[in-house]
Amino acid sequence: MSRGNGTSVRSVNYATSPLLASKTPPWRSRFVVVLVGLAFAVLLGRAVHLQIWASDFYRAQGEKRFVHKLKLPASRGRIFDRNGLVLATSVALPSVQVDAKTFAADTAQRRAMARALGMSPADLGQRLDGATGVVTLRRLVEEPVWREIQALGLKGVQEVREYKRRYPEGESAAHVVGFTNIDDRGQEGIELAFQGQLEGRSGARTVVRDRLGRVIEDVGDQADPVNGRDITLSVDSKVQFFAYQRVRDAVQQNRAKAGSVVVLDVQTGEVLALANYPSYDPAERNNLTGGQMRNRALTDVFEPGSTMKPLVVAWALDTGRVKADTVIHTAPGSLVVGPLVVKDAHPYAALTVQEVIQKSSNVGAARIAMQMPARELWELFSNIGYGQKPQIAFPGAVTGRLKPYKNWRPVEQATMAYGYGLSASLLQMARAYTVLARDGDVIPVTLLRQDQPAVGLRVLKPETTREIRRMLQMAAGPGGTGPKAQTIGYSVGGKSGTAHKQEGKGYASNKYRAWFVGMAPIGTPRIIVAVMVDEPSAGRHFGGDVAAPVFSEVVQQTLRMMNVAPDIDVKAQISAKPLAAELESF
């Protein structure tokens, strides 16, 4: 074969090629067909395995990567005061999360993100570097923080809404309301006591997310959350705030260690205020101390001092052993009972029973108590709540100490008459005085709002308690140990108390607790107020000097808030000359 340019190419005869002319063995073609068939069979088997036998597994794997079950948190129930003002509520706040697989940020963005979250760049890197799943960087951040992080426009950053507790009344109601932890479970106070009612039941939502973590579709039915139940307390937030301010001022002015106030409604047994100082802010609990968190009015027990004298005298009157004008010999201002010498701060030759209360005579109270069987006094003390755990829905309420009467020695019977040898909380002391304020009935106390009058236990005769209230009015008036308890517009009655603090097996010579427990208006009492100041050290330590002024201010403000009409002439009281306080005996 030749081309136009004169060159020639040798022709090839393919038919005569040895490779093509040779015959292919039959087994080779069959082998190829078998291989192709096996390949199709494997593919078909794999398809059957994926689509039928292993479909559940691979569907689950796919859902694990793109289908997520989101928790829908329930809102915790709110806590209200008796007038419907909020003491605790929950608000939804973002918790910042990062999907480590899709997260991307340069050094400047990481630094900005760490600064917004209150973390160091090193801490942020430690949390994210090497992580493979979703990492929660910070829970319950404020809205401005989340908006600042959103503005960075980072991939893989997402939010989950959770609830955080808010406490509008802050430190004034902290010991009543308590607080929750970051998981919204009650840890102290009402938050703990009513955890079962306040907590709700979480719901769930199933969604499909894309590779950037964005929700693109809901899957299946949504289970809605069930919010917790609201709780309405007996506390009046205005009375609570005022009581807290007054006891705080008293502690600071007297350079004391601590103080407490309890305000009770005489008709219902409701706690209108329960304030302690030192306190804390339930929403900001960094660097808290045990002293700040202690609800001293419920958890601290101490010897109640002279506040016991009206109760002992009441029983003596009720059983006919004495009358108000019965003369008790108290000379020479001391009484030897076994190894103890009972002394009065100011010696008197003789005092009537009513003067024993007015002048707060230890000797007179001891002589009256020694006339009665130990069993009768023990039953009286037990019936009004001493040595009994308060039936109040609150954690930490203590029982106090009251020895069985069979173990009483004469010296113990004598000292109990003026408040040594037994112990009680301030709440127990306030409750005990309901027997005097309610014409002989002692009632249970409660922190929940009540719409009906309380049902009490009859302990004393009505005429006995009216006589004791008249003596308490004398004790809080001219010539008594607590004239600083007087209040403009309202008649008051009460008993001051001062006791040495126990240290080991003895008593500290220069450490005291001071009290004043009383009621107003004295004719038909509406409230009971109990005040305790622990270790006053500014030169005064008697209850009539330290605790009585707090009582006066709290009584006046509380009765006004309750719209109780004044029962004495205001003008006459304003024009009266100041009364000089006498020092009380222990």
Count of Cβ atoms closer than 10 Å to residue 518 Cβ: 36
Sign of CA dihedral 103, 107, 113, 117: positive
In this structure, what are the phi and psi dihedrals at residue 233, rounded to the nearest 5 degrees? -90, 165
User: Of the residues 234, 279, 306, 360, which is catalytic?
Assistant: 306
Number of H helices, E strands in the chain: 23, 21
SS (H, E, C) 301-313: CECCHHHHHHHHH
Closest CA to 467 of 442, 495, 443, 439: 439
Q: How far apart are CA 304 and CA 301, in angstroms?
A: 9
HEC letters along 95-134 = EEEEECCCCECCHHHHHHHHHHHCCCHHHHHHHHCCCCCE
Q: Distance between CA atoms of 190 and 199, rounded to whole angstroms?
A: 12
Question: Is 90 an active-site residue?
Answer: no
Alpha-carbon separation of residue 241 from 273, 274, 285, 559 (angstroms): 8, 10, 20, 15
CA dist., res. 269 & res. 564, Å (int): 17
Distances in Å between the Cα of 399 and the Cα atoms of 96, 270, 366, 422, 428 are: 46, 19, 25, 11, 9
The enclosing H or E element of 426 equals: helix 426-432
Query: What is the Cα–Cα distance from 145 to 116, expressed in whole angstroms?
Result: 6
Residues in a beta bridge with 495? 517
Long-range contacts from 411-416, C-beta under 8 angstroms, 24+ separation: 411/337, 411/338, 411/339, 411/340, 413/369, 413/370, 413/374, 413/377, 414/335, 414/337, 414/340, 414/342, 414/366, 414/369, 414/370, 415/337, 415/340, 415/342, 415/366, 416/308, 416/312, 416/369, 416/377, 416/381
- Cα separation, 421 vs 305, in Å, equals 10
- 237: tokens are 């937030």
Q: How many C-beta neighbours within 10 Å does residue 415 have?
A: 22
- The pair of structure tokens assigned to 462 is 């009505």
Q: Which amino acid is residue 130, in one-letter code?
A: G
| Residues in contact with 477: Cβ distance below 8 Å, sequence separation at least 6, in sequence order | 483, 486, 579
Q: Please identify every residue annotated as catalytic.
A: 306
